[in-house]
Chains A and B, each alone.
Chain A
């Protein structure tokens, strides 16, 4: 039996009368790429936000690396090795690409109550930043302010920032959102590389990418899990077809 890196049990989150996460249980096994799919409003981002601690569940538990993290604030979870990328690009816009990544490295390299030495001259941080940027192919754009990067580059930078925190689990919230065809292909290629090094939980609308990448897929509908399994099983699952895929030929075509 493989080790569970992340285990979610009976998670519930309500917004007023709306149940956004409905008694949800799931596991992510160490080393896999686990995709979460589901129609709009299925509660995917709500789930991610609870995993990272931006949002507290009403009930249920979250275990990460064998430890109950349900009540921990986001910065503590990051310290344990849980990293996320944001669906809506969420970078420090007035900082350069390298600064963004260096700050992430700084968060995990000693404390930051150092008031005197110039942090932008800290070799170790700069090198970690450049390594992470090189990992996503952005090393040539290191000194460009984020506001001048293209959308695709910003998505890649999101990944570099997450990587720089040396995560055990990478939560990617729609990394392909808004990308063109070639950019998407680059991102898929990049994720194929990264999955060798780190466990990934991927929330994505791009079915082609999901079925190309995922080891396992969990399908959410109305905040609950309706199916979980290998891509083939999901593709052939009657309930999934009815509830979500419907007549989406894009999926069957790749069967």
Chain B
């Protein structure tokens, strides 16, 4: 057991080291493309990690998590459009808007369980998608171009590729640290207990749904941050970031990397997005290869990649 944990930790440490050194590699080899690609990976890894908090630790299968990417993104985009360029305003608004959205849809959808919960979170996300599509002032279907990235004064320049990458990486690592603390706190244990056996947790004195809801809001807020980053990364936000297939991608990243493991979603995001990139270079029908690959992982590696690592080191 101990050694299993160690192998996982070694892999996680290596990946983090790789991510930290990536801009150096990119600068030395002149491959700008790789830095751009990994900026996106790091941002979506943060979104996947936030989903893992409710899905892996909380047992809440949300199929609408991409909504927060859109809400965070639109908060930045709309404020920029209206002439408020400061990141000190844009980002807190993105977080608060995501938290409020999570509070409302969480309060409603947590009355249901299982398949109904999946469907209702999906429905809410699709509603957000259609609302964004109807915002004619902000580009409607075509989306909204962000002409200037969030302005943090002299603190950091987000238009600088390397600086922006490190901001994203800091958000990812900070997010993971936050999730790690939360998961092991009193609160986190209650949430995991509710995942394991809700009736039991009620019987020993916990108001299960209230803990679920708070967890849901924390998760949505973190994902809203990822949304603000993503909008800055693409200098653009459109309803497409909230489309249900994007929610599905996030779920796949979590399952691929290993649900309920701290670092699994990061590995999942890297593997998923790198594979997507490589396969789409080979054929435009890359999904035909990706699909069966995912199927194999789900069938033969229940715990995802992190689960596999654990099993190998156990022998």
Select A74's contact among B193, B203, B211, B218, beta carbons within 8 Å: B203
Q: Are B204 and A103 in contact (CB under 8 A)?
A: yes
User: Which of these, A73, A112, A119, contacts B211 with CB under 8 Å?
Assistant: A112
Chain B residue numbers with a CB within 8 Å of A162 are 204
CB distance from B20 to the nearest CB of A (A): 25
Is A54 interfacial (CB 8 A cutoff)?
A: yes
Q: Given A107-B205, A107-B206, A161-B204, A91–B197 Cβ distance below 8 Å?
A: yes
Report how far A162 CA is from B205 CA in the complex, Å: 10
A21 close to B (CB within 8 Å): no
CA distance A79 to B211 in the complex (A): 16
Q: B185 and A78: CB pair below 8 A? A: no
Which residues of B176-196 have CB atoms within 8 Å of chain A's CB atoms? 181-182, 184-190, 192-193, 196
Q: How large is the interface on B (under 10, 10 to 19, 20 to 34, 35 or more residues)?
A: 20 to 34
A interface residues, how many (CB within 8 angstroms) = 37
User: How many Å lie between the Cα of A122 and that of B189 in the bound state?
Assistant: 12
B241 contacts partner chain A, Cβ-Cβ < 8 Å: no
Compute how far the CA of A54 lies from the CA of B202 in the bound complex, rounded to whole angstroms.
Answer: 9
CB <8 Å contact, A165 and B205: yes
Q: A107-B205, A108-B205 are in contact. Are A119 and B189 (CB under 8 A)?
A: yes
Q: Does B214 contact A (CB under 8 A)?
A: yes
B200 CB within 8 Å of chain A: yes
Contact B196 A54 (CB under 8 A): no
**Interface residue B207 (Cβ < 8 Å from any Cβ of A):** yes
Interface class of chain B by DSSP: helix
What A residues does B214 contact at CB under 8 A?
Answer: 113
Q: Which of A71-102 contact B (CB under 8 A)?
A: 73-75, 78-79, 83-84, 86, 90-95, 99
CA A183 to CA B207, docked complex, whole Å: 34
Q: Does A75 lie within 8 Å of B200, measured CB to CB?
A: no
Of the residues B184, B186, B197, B199, contact of A112 by C-beta under 8 Å: B186
Contacts of B206 in A (CB 8 A): 75, 107, 112
- A15 on interface, CB distance cutoff 8 Å: no
Task: Decide: A115 near B200, CB < 8 A? Known: A75-B208, A107-B205, A107-B206.
Answer: no
In the assembled complex, the Cα of A161 lies from the Cα of B197 at a distance in Å of: 14
In the complex, A114 has a CB within 8 A of chain B? yes
- Which residues 158-178 of A sit at the B interface, judged by CB distance below 8 A? 161-162, 164-165
Chain A residues near B193 (CB, 8 Å)?
92, 95, 103
Give the Cβ gap from B196 to chain A, nearest Cβ, in Å.
Answer: 4
B291 to chain A, nearest CB (A): 30
The chain B residue sitting closest to A80, CB to CB, is B205
CB contacts (< 8 Å) of B196 on chain A: these are 92-95
Quick check: A113 and B202 within 8 Å, CB to CB? no
A182 proximal to B (CB < 8 A): no
> Cβ of B204 and Cβ of A104 under 8 Å apart?
yes
Q: Are B181 and A73 in contact (CB under 8 A)?
A: no
Asked whether, in the complex, the Cβ of A91 is within 8 Å of the Cβ of B185, the reply is no
28 CB contacts below 8 A, A to B, read: A73-B207, A74-B202, A79-B205, A86-B203, A90-B203, A92-B192, A92-B197, A93-B196, A104-B204, A106-B186, A107-B204, A107-B205, A107-B206, A112-B187, A112-B206, A113-B186, A113-B214, A115-B181, A115-B185, A115-B187, A115-B188, A115-B218, A116-B182, A117-B186, A118-B185, A119-B185, A119-B186, A165-B205
